[in-house]
Each structure stands twice: as structure tokens, then as C-alpha cells.
Structure 1
Amino acid sequence: MSTTMSTTSVPDYATEFAGKTALVTGGASGIGLATVRRLAAGGASVVVADHNAEGAAKAAAELTAEGHKAAAVALDVTSAESVEAAVRFAVDTFGALHLAVNNAGIRGPIAATGEYDIEGYERVIATNLNGVFYSMRHELPAIEAAGEGGAIVNVSSVMGTVSSRGSIAYVAAKHGVVGLTKTAAAEYASKNIRVNAVGPGFIETPLLAVDAMERAAHDALVAAHPVGRLGRSEEVAELIVFLLTERASFVHGSYHLVDGAYTAV
């Protein structure tokens, strides 16, 4: 008796984004930079958009020197006009926009809700929530105009599903990002534009390094993760990139945690 084995084609990761243009906000460092690098490695033309114009320019220059297609643009996500200009820059530079990652965000003050600084609250909401709305508001028409469909990934947080005492603004904004994602996904699914979100947990950054916080506090944070460590930016970037590929073609309006089981206990 003969047996016929089915085979599944393996994607060519070096060309999976060939011919596509991607815009990444907050792309000069951390998760944003890891995502930029992964997209460029996949053949995308990448626009590094960041409030840190010098950092964005450095990232784009390094990618260009490595043979990738990249450009940088200064971006203030709290300004709808600045976001509109960044999207227009992406289209003017590379001819169209197909993919976007809305990653820019800030942590904000730490205080109990009844003592929370009003200006600090408004600053966090303006960046982490309004910034995502402004971004999608201008990215979606540009992606639709390209006529090829596309995808957007919004970077929320584990705080988009749980709370954190002292972080009322951050938690509210990140919960809101999930709502923005689901609403836009429902509206644009019929236009072959997918919108999803990821919720990173605690990721290794200079802010969370042992020399930036008390050893006991760092160890307690690590202990809160069943995997026994904090995450890496590249691990989050891999999920973001997967959601941007056609391999995730039936994934719409979803919210994926990347947290080492932090929210599972």
C-alpha cells in the first residue's frame, strides 16, 4: 500500500515582504527597532518613524548600509498633522503603504488614581491611545489606496488585559488600544486589511536592567514570570511580523499576549 504525503511549502523569509512598504512608529529603539530590522530582513521597504529623529535616521542609515531599503521620518504621534505627514512621506518615498506597526508609547507617572497628575494622564493618553487612533486614521486610507490589501499591528501591552496599581493612564490607554484594534478590524476586514494587536509583557530594556532598579525589585519582577526571565524585543517582533504576513490571513481583530505566562498566574 502506497502512502502519499502532503507537503507544506515553507515561506521564503528573506522575500516575504518584497514589494511592500512598512511604517513603524517608535521604530528607533526597543520593540520598534527589532520589528524594523525583521521587516527589512524580509525584503520590505521600511520607514522608521520616531520622536527621536536622530535615532530614526541612525537606524535607517544602518539598514541602508546593509543593503536594505529604509528611510527615516520625525514623528510626533500626539499630532494628527505629524502622523499624516509621516504617512504621506512613506507613500511619496516608496510609492505606497501596505503595512504599519503602531508601537510608539510612553510609560507615564506612577501614582494612585486619586493622586495622579492630570497633565501626566493627558500626556499618556495623547501618546498611547490618541497616537494609535491618529496613526490608523491616516494609515488605513493609504493602505486601501494601494489596492493590494495590507495589515496593521497595534502594540498594546499586558496592561491591555490586566491592571497595574499606580498606572491608571497607561492601563486605560492600553485597554483602549485593544478596543481600537477590534473596531478597525471589523470595519476593514472586507477590504482585505487586517488589524491586530499584541500585548508585550515585561521586556529587557535599560529601564529594567539591574543597574537601573534595585536588585530585589528586578528579581521579584523576574519571579512573576513562570518562564523565569523577562522577554526580549526580538521575541515580540517575531509575533508582530507574523501578523503582518499572509500566513496570518484569517487573523483579524485579535489581541495576542507575549508575556512569558505573566498573566496566566
Structure 2
Amino acid sequence: MPFTMDYIKMPDGALLAMRKWEKSNNFDKIILALHGLGVDGKGYGILSDGLTGKNLIISVDLRGHGDSDGIPGDIPKYWQYIDDINYVIKNIRHNYNNIPLYLLGESIGSICALNCSINKSNNVNGLILLAPALKTYIKPRIDDLIDLFKSYFFNSNLNIDSRYYKNQLKAKDDFCINCITPKFILNLWAMITRAYYVSFRYIKTPILILQGKKDNIVKLDAVINFYKKIRYNDKEIDILENGTHSLLANTVTQKESIIYIDKWMKKH
């Protein structure tokens, strides 16, 4: 299904690309889709095509990704992604005041969704997490850890070649990040740490987690452990036997994933 594209202006002047898939004006739920690291939000038309409910699908390209402003692999300040998404949510709430809003995140997008859910003013109606990057198999190099130390304690401006990590991620050619800054890495670490060790205490909304058993990036046991720690009763986790990291992009699990999401959305 074709999308309409617009830009939303952040408080610092940066423009983030937003896409909307709208079957009709008569929608009763909104899904804000948050993509993973190094890609963009162009692919979420499959949700509009596959889900049977009357949903408005919105995606936003994270800063430095896709058609949004910013430098790939860098951020102006810590928690930039979260601040940006909180602002996007505020904008959606302003434009569609009484319509239930659900956050759908993939990989790092799930980490963003969890961090945003901590903000009570966002008042989201549900969380859908696909392969949430709560703990990963990615191992940093010693030299990169030294660079992080130098950057943090001596305020050095260093760039780290991302090819080593792209290989670990088995990233495709559309992975947009070629160089990463220590601030960027530390920010990801802070986001992931807060999502895994803190956010489960504050989840007060229905949550669905989908995780692939063949995911070579995210640790399955960490996702299951996180799910068990969630105190809110309305929670669901589904493990896809043939699921890899990209559940919606993988033709083997795309339909199965959408069916799980569709059933869950109908109940909520």
C-alpha cells in the first residue's frame, strides 16, 4: 500500500521523516512503528496490508537514518532518540487526541519503545516488541573499548569504523551507518541498560513480544527473562521457531508475525 510522507520539525530544528499508511479516514487505532539500527521506516506498509483492523500506521525515521536529518552513527546529545520519539508521540496525541496509540518497535526500535513507555505523559495503549535488543551476541573490540574510555574521560572526538559490527550483525547493503562515535555507542548502551533493568517495573500497558528462535543477534534467554519480570498481567510472548532477527522482513516469518500482531490488536 502506498504511503504519504511528511516531515516533523524537532525542537532543535532537525526534520524527521514520517510516513503514513491510511486505508481510510475511519481508523480507530494508531500504530507508531520504530525501526531498528541502520535502516529506516519504509517497510511498514506490510502492517497496513496485513492487519485486518482499522489502523493508521505511522513510521518515523530515527535521527541520522533514512530520510531524516542527522549524521548516521552520531547523536547531538544523550537520549536524543528518546527525546525525539517523545516529541513525535506528543505531536500524534495533539493531532489524534482520543485515538488509542500503540508503539511497535523492532530491535533497537523496541528499546526506544520501552524507554518511551516509562514517560507517563505518553500514555500509550500498548507495546509490540519484535526481537527487542535487550541483550545481544555482539562483542566489542578491545581497541574500541579503549576509544570509549578516552572519549568519556578526555573528551576526545573519535570515530569507530563500524564494518566489524556490520559483519557481526550480518547487515545488508542498506545499513546506513559506516562510522560510529563513542557517544553514540554509550547512548545505545544506556538505552539498552535502562530498558532491560528498569523498564519492566513501569510497564502499565498491554505488551506483546515476538522473538525468533534463530535470531543471531538477540539472546533469547534474555528476552524470556525480561518477559517474566514484567509485573503487568496483560502480557504475551510468542517464540517463532524459524524466526531470525528481522521477523517482518523474513518471508518465512512475516505472515506468522502479522497474524500474531493482528490477533493481539483485536483483543486490545
Larger gyration radius, structure 1 or structure 2: 1
More helix per residue: 1
The structure with the largest strand share of the pair is: 2
**TM-score clears 0.5:** no
Q: TM-score, normalised by structure 2?
A: 0.42
TM-score after normalising by structure 1 = 0.42
